[in-house]
Structure formats: structure tokens, C-alpha cells
């Protein structure tokens, strides 16, 4: 069984990529708008890195949603 932390990385990765594509953004564009590196966005989308709270807020703002909406979308996919 996977841990919640491991599940969170995978789920965050999947949801971030889905939402980014829904907005028609490349990884580079999202990174630029969030003042982050494209490589970091790639790591988030591959489940290698976990974002800080500050990064979640930045990403949510760029994706035109509240951070709670982003977290709720992720939470729907997590198995506890």
C-alpha cells in the first residue's frame, strides 16, 4: 500500500498537468507566470517534487482558481 505522501505526489502531479493543459499552458508558460523554473514544474508533474504552500498559492492564482479549489481537486483523488 502506498503512503498518503506518496499518493499525494502522484495525484498532485496528475491534477496539475490536467489543469495546466485545460488552460492551454505549456510547462514553460506556467513556470514563467509563477516565477518558477520549467524544470521545477516538470518535477511537480512527474511526482518528483512537492510544492510549498506558497507555490500552491502561486500556481492556483495563475490557473485562475483559489488554492482551496486546487487542493480539493487533488483531495478527490487521494485514497486514505
Q: What is the pLDDT of residue 4?
A: 60
- Residue range 18-24: mean pLDDT, rounded: 97
CA distances from 33 to 2, 41, 72 (A): 33, 11, 22
DSSP 50-77: ---HHHHHHHHHHTTS-HHHHHHHHHTT
Q: Given CA atoms 64, 43, 13, 69 in this order, what sign does their dihedral have?
A: negative
Q: Is the pLDDT of residue 6 over 50?
A: yes
Q: Please report the domains of the chain, with CATH numbers, ordered by start residue.
A: 4-75 (1.10.260.40)
Each residue's pLDDT tens digit, 25-78: 999 999 999 999 999 999 999 999 999 999 999 999 999 999 999 999 998 887
Prediction pTM value: 0.88
Amino acid at each position: 500500500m502506498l503512503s498518503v505522501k506518496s499518493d499525494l505526489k502522484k495525484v498532485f502531479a496528475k491534477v496539475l498537468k490536467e489543469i495546466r493543459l485545460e488552460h492551454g499552458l505549456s510547462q514553460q508558460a506556467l513556470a514563467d507566470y509563477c516565477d518558477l523554473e520549467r524544470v521545477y514544474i516538470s518535477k511537480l508533474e512527474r511526482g518528483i517534487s512537492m510544492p510549498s504552500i506558497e507555490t500552491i498559492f502561486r500556481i492556483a492564482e495563475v490557473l485562475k482558481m483559489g488554492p482551496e479549489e486546487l487542493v480539493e481537486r487533488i483531495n478527490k483523488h487521494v485514497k486514505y
